Amino acid sequence: MKLPRRNFLHLAAVAAALPAVSRLARAQTYPTRPVRIIVGFPAGFAADTVARLIAQSLSESLRQQFVVENRPGAGSNIATDAVVRATPDGYSLLLLTQTNAINATTYENLGFDFVRDIAPVAGICIPLFAMVVSPLVPAKSVLEFIDYAKTNPGKVNVASLGTGSAGHVFGELFKIMTGVHMVHVPYRASFIPDLLSGQVQVAFATIGAVIEHIRTGKLRALAVTAATRVDVLPEIPALSEFVSGYEASGFMGIGAPKSTAAEIVETLNKAINATLTDPKMKARFTDLGVVPLANSPAEFGNYIVQYTEKWGKVIRAANIKPE
């Protein structure tokens, strides 16, 4: 049967519109079942706490359950690989952290490209760090610490949560910019007991992990590593006040498998950004030592690219290799 030209053109127009209609329907109905937020760290870590706060808020705003699934191991690479290989339908999300960006250079054979294979959805927060020393260290300022380290080469130990961790690369940047020699001591669990006792002398640690020790005088904060002073520790100077150009902060956000529909990404982005304006969430973030990071998917993607490039240079300069 031969269709009249008018009917043929009408059917062709309908067929061409179907993909757009399908995407619109998908965005309007998403989510229709529980969504997983996969976290590459154990329960109780700061990343896990932030993920659970966001999951609870999204469950309320999008009226569907968002569930945190912890998949620790291989420096969070197991969790990332799981999301890279997941169906790009918006039901498997990844809690992104600075570790993902650092791993992109530290590991040579990941089996995935973090920047290419994960679609940025939304930033959540910037974890703040501080340079803290044991009370047994005589230095009372960054400049005094630099002098102390230079007069005691090889005797100053800098602790971190592992080779290639944020605390490790932040310390390496400090070494590069100041010329001091410090011995890196990686830990698989908390280094804070050894820092308190003086077995290690310094660490670049998240403020949330050490703030109570700072407030009680058990640890001495020489500086915060953000570009400027921060509200949670307003009396503590920024490290850049002594080492011009130094800046080191983390990040957390949400990512999805590449090719996830833009409409789904936008739905999640708007919901997360709305969450970040909530006064209760802001107060909780202050307690955790983090500040909100609200942005568009494109802005978050650019942030990740720039972050990965910055710390990639430090990792290569310091010749950091995975354990």
pLDDT of residue 189: 84
pLDDT digit string, tens, across residues 228-247: 999 999 999 999 999 999 99
Look at residues 192, 213, 241 and tell me which one is the last residue of a structural domain: 241
Q: Token pair for residue 280?
A: 């209760």
Task: Say yes or no: 115 and 146 in one domain.
Answer: no
| Helical residues (DSSP H) of the chain, grouped into ranges | 5-29, 46-62, 77-84, 98-106, 114-117, 142-151, 166-178, 192-197, 207-215, 262-276, 279-288, 297-318
- Residue where one domain finishes, among candidates 222, 241, 260: 241
User: Is residue 140 scored above 80 in pLDDT?
Assistant: yes
Query: For the ranges 4-8, 69-73, 90-94, 267-271, which has the lowest average pLDDT?
Result: 4-8
Domain boundary residue, one of 241, 262, 290: 241
Domain that holds residue 179: 129-241
Tell me: pLDDT of 11 over 70: no
Give yes or no: residues 135 and 232 share one domain: yes
Are the C-beta atoms of 220 and 238 separated by less than 8 Å? no
Strands in 35-39's sheet, in edge-to-edge order, are: 66-70, 35-39, 92-97, 252-257, 118-127, 290-292
Is residue 35 within 8 A of residue 64, CB to CB? The reply is yes
The answer to whether residues 59 and 79 belong to one domain is yes
Domain count, the chain: 2
pLDDT digits (tens, 9 = 90+) for 143-182: 999 999 999 988 999 999 999 999 999 999 999 999 999 9
Q: Is residue 59 part of a domain?
A: yes
pLDDT at 290: 95
Per-residue pLDDT tens digits for 194-205:
999 999 999 999
- Closest by Cα among 223, 245, 253, 314 to 125: 253
Give the whole-angstrom CA distance, residue 269 versus residue 263. 10
